[in-house]
Structure 1
Amino acid sequence: MLASELKDTTVAGDRIDQLVAGHRPGHGLARAFYLDPEIYERDLERVFRRHWHCVAHESAIPNANDFEVFRMASEQVIVTRTASGEIHAMLNVCRHRGAEVCTKDKGNARAFVCPYHAWTYGNDGALKAARLMPKDFKREDHGLKKLNVRVVEGLIFISFAAEPLDFSEVERLLRATCGQYGWGSAKIAHRQSYAIDANWKLAVENYVECYHCGPAHPEYSETHALEQPLHLIEELNARMEARTCALGIEVASGNHWQNSTGGKETIHAFRYALYDGVQTGSKDGQALSTLMGRFTDFDGGVTSIHLGGTTFLVCYPDHGMIYRFIPKTAETSEMELIWLVDGKAEEGRDYDLEKLTWLWKVTTDEDKAIIEHTSRGVRSHYFVPGPIAPMEQNELRYINWYLDEISRPA
């Protein structure tokens, strides 16, 4: 790095640290956190390259030699299933001159041939051939850059970190939550991506609070009780837990929301009730698909999981949702929604795809509009963040966590 570049980086770091130090407790983030390209680069360095991210359910690559390419900011990750069934993740960057070695978004292949100079890689990332290289060239030293991978209850997680955060606590809690709902034997029913004209944090902050649910999501609020005062939610939750217990099922909750100082990944799983008589997240509150996992009947509840800062999961007894938040640029992002159903369920017989996806499509269309309204507003030079409301406690927690993370050097 040139001396002038080092000086510029130091100045930017000092300025960002001063913005963090100047954050007003109990309030939202200042304008720069949603617009500043240097803060965005720090987000990538200290959040995205440090934490684990769910990229898909393994049913996205069900067969031997299936692959799919996932994009996050400027990175492209090839996720493969080898002939032996192992799942690998590697950067889509040739070890010779950096060209993309995989030029299709998804497919089935035993090997990837770089279109530039024909270096050939197996679908486990190993370099198989490098034409016309000298005799002392060692292929084993030039495989594709591998990423850390964990597969838990069918969910594929990747980490860019050389020494990834401890995942054991996350794994235990996922098995005690998603495992009870049968996600390990689920399959993808539908996937849909939403381009968001806003910084990724505005999208996440919107997701983690339900202060806006009443005015912004009338359809969601017909069946979900999160917009109610706490004492009413507690009464509904008690009835929900009694029904779950009567089914002989114990779905765990657990609050391990922590910064990465201790070397562990962060996760929070919590349960909340639907209104009495509502079975699942649907237009009329009635069942959408066959029951999953250990559920033999509906308990009128939902399990929600916040994980690693960018991954959010929603478990109903008859279907599940994966929410992925993906940075694109300082002022743009993407949300991907993945609907899961029981692995044996058949569209047209066991579920109607339009009914299955209706609620979260409607809700996400509304969220996209809200987030982009907010993004246009915070671009104003006169924007000053206001106080966080009591019902936005998860947003306040997220903001504090985020500021902790970007304050910690890589």
Structure 2
Amino acid sequence: MLAPEIKTREKPLDRIDQLVAAHRPGYALTRPFYMDPEIYERDLERVFFRHWHCLAHESVIPNPGDFEVFKLASEAVILTRAKDGTVHAMLNLCRHRGAEVCTKPKGNAKAFVCPYHAWTYGNDGALKAARLMPKDFKREDHGLKKLHVRVVEGLVFISFAKEPLDFSEVENLLHATAGQYGWGKAKVAHRQTYPVDANWKLAVENYVECYHCGPAHPEYSETHALEQPLHMIEELNAKMEARTCALGIDVGSGDHWQTSRNNKEAIHAFRYALYDGVKTGSKDGSPLSTLMGRFSDFDGGVTSIHLGGTSFLVCYADHGMIYRFIPRGVEACEMELIWLVDEKAEAGVDYDFDKLTWLWTVTTDEDKAIIEHTSRGVRSHFYEPGPIAPMEQNELRYINWYLDEISRPVGA
């Protein structure tokens, strides 16, 4: 006898899932993805707290006891270097009543004393003292909440996730890319934060495509061939690779841009040429600082790295750039730019500060204006997303990646 057919009812899609399901392939995101507070909260839960983020270059905390506080979305993270030289990242939350235990933005300290009830933590996060607590109180159970940390080629990465995504492909590709450029022996020459009145995704989408480079970034487009479609710069790219090879350097590239379904972090590294005669990312293409890493001469190329959805790296032979995108609210974010030079390079001797920072300062000023123009337009009740252009292939891929990420609950 056949068993009776049992009909199961699928769980109905919630409002956000319905918006994801209604997304038109090949088109930009609709208005709610940039303005809806509930979507912003899901962004934090399923994208920001799930993935790895580049927090800093470890040269910002060179000595034992050094610390700096970083604010990301609603969280504050203390980055420290302990007495044994190890790097730690902890949430700036006392395990007693939740007060901030570190009240200075940066400095050097052997311990952090909560200003509320004087609970005292070591710079590795361990609770050292909790005054007037009962005898059965266990200090070892009440250290600061630790984040997962990886330090690769001088770059400090953190993850808020309880079980972080596999970082091995990222680590291998960073060794093959940033490692060739000597980022492990670099230092920070300058940091600049740009507040942007826009949802964080508008800022990232702008960064990952160069369709806008020609009309919006005339300075960048004078020297960087990426402002052309890729098929039009194949000859320039071939010349670049030949010069790199002649220097005895094999700079890696690789496309591991993937969702977290397989529990792996996403990374994509690619190379592209500067125009003929241009050595680096400067106003006139001339050198900006001393050569880094394995480079004994300029190869006229750039290595670009997209990592984890919020972290982006740009490698030149004589300097590097870190781009960090930080949510601040549903319609607010920050872009932090970090300029790297060789650890032995001296300002005013080996590089001129104004020349070093000129190109990406000009470009980011322009980007901030563009992103905010777009944000104001997207607020219109009559906004309808248009089709993604062929030169926006990385934006299209980013959108598809993002929609997949917010479709899956944490742990799925």
TM over 0.5: same fold? yes
Which stretches in structure 2 are left out of the alignment for 5+ residues?
Answer: 1-10
Deviations 1:338-371 (A, max 9, x none): 0000000000000001000000000000000000
Q: What pairs with 1:151-230 in structure 2 (closer than 5 Å)?
A: 151-230=151-230
Q: What pairs with 1:293-312 in structure 2 (closer than 5 Å)?
A: 293-312=293-312
**Which residue does the alignment assign to 2:272?**
272
Q: In structure 2, give the amino acid aligned to 1:147.
A: L
**Which residue does the alignment assign to 1:7?**
none
Q: Does 1:258 align with 2:262?
A: no
**Which residue does the alignment assign to 2:290?**
290
- CA shift, 1:232, in A, is 2.2
**Partners in 1 of 2:107 and 2:196 — Cα distance?**
27
**Partners in 2 of 1:174 and 1:339 — Cα distance?**
17
**Partners in 1 of 2:269 and 2:215 — Cα distance?**
26
Deviations 1:222-267 (A, max 9, x none): 0001111333211110000000000000000100000000000000
Q: What pairs with 1:33-48 in structure 2 (closer than 5 Å)?
A: 33-48=33-48
**Which residue does the alignment assign to 1:3?**
none
**Partners in 1 of 2:195 and 2:51 — Cα distance?**
23
Q: What pairs with 1:56-67 in structure 2 (closer than 5 Å)?
A: 56-67=56-67
Q: Does 1:82 align with 2:115?
A: no
- CA shift, 1:93, in A, is 0.3
**Partners in 1 of 2:316 and 2:56 — Cα distance?**
18
**Partners in 1 of 2:129 and 2:66 — Cα distance?**
21
Secondary structure at the residue paired with 2:369?
helix
**Partners in 2 of 1:62 and 1:215 — Cα distance?**
41
Secondary structure at the residue paired with 2:233?
helix
Q: What pairs with 1:245-394 in structure 2 (closer than 5 Å)?
A: 245-394=245-394
**Partners in 2 of 1:100 and 1:124 — Cα distance?**
16
Q: In structure 1, give the amino acid aligned to 2:165.
A: L
Secondary structure at the residue paired with 1:184?
helix
**Partners in 1 of 2:231 and 2:337 — Cα distance?**
31
**Which residue does the alignment assign to 1:6?**
none
Deviations 1:42-90 (A, max 9, x none): 0000001100000100001111100000111110000000111000000
**Which residue does the alignment assign to 2:50?**
50
Q: What pairs with 1:96-107 in structure 2 (closer than 5 Å)?
A: 96-107=96-107
- CA shift, 1:335, in A, is 0.3
Q: In structure 1, give the amino acid aligned to 2:168.
A: S
Secondary structure at the residue paired with 2:226?
coil
**Which residue does the alignment assign to 1:95?**
95
**Which residue does the alignment assign to 1:68?**
68
Which stretches in structure 1 are left out of the alignment for 5+ residues?
Answer: 1-9
Q: In structure 2, give the amino acid aligned to 1:301.
A: G
Secondary structure at the residue paired with 1:117?
coil
**Partners in 1 of 2:363 and 2:234 — Cα distance?**
24
**Partners in 1 of 2:216 and 2:111 — Cα distance?**
48
**Partners in 1 of 2:88 and 2:188 — Cα distance?**
19
**Partners in 2 of 1:104 and 1:61 — Cα distance?**
14
**Partners in 2 of 1:197 and 1:109 — Cα distance?**
35
**Partners in 2 of 1:150 and 1:274 — Cα distance?**
32
**Which residue does the alignment assign to 2:5?**
none
- CA shift, 1:114, in A, is 0.2
**Partners in 1 of 2:390 and 2:41 — Cα distance?**
31
Secondary structure at the residue paired with 2:204?
helix
Query: Identity over the aligned pairs, expressed in percent?
Result: 83
**Which residue does the alignment assign to 1:29?**
29
- CA shift, 1:19, in A, is 0.1
**Which residue does the alignment assign to 1:398?**
398
Q: In structure 2, give the amino acid aligned to 1:318.
A: D
Q: What pairs with 1:118-137 in structure 2 (closer than 5 Å)?
A: 118-137=118-137
Deviations 1:198-230 (A, max 9, x none): 000000000000000000000000000111133
Give the TM-score taking structure 2 as reference length: 0.96
**Partners in 2 of 1:230 and 1:359 — Cα distance?**
22
**Partners in 2 of 1:231 and 1:400 — Cα distance?**
23
**Partners in 2 of 1:91 and 1:229 — Cα distance?**
43
**Partners in 1 of 2:335 and 2:230 — Cα distance?**
29
- CA shift, 1:274, in A, is 0.2
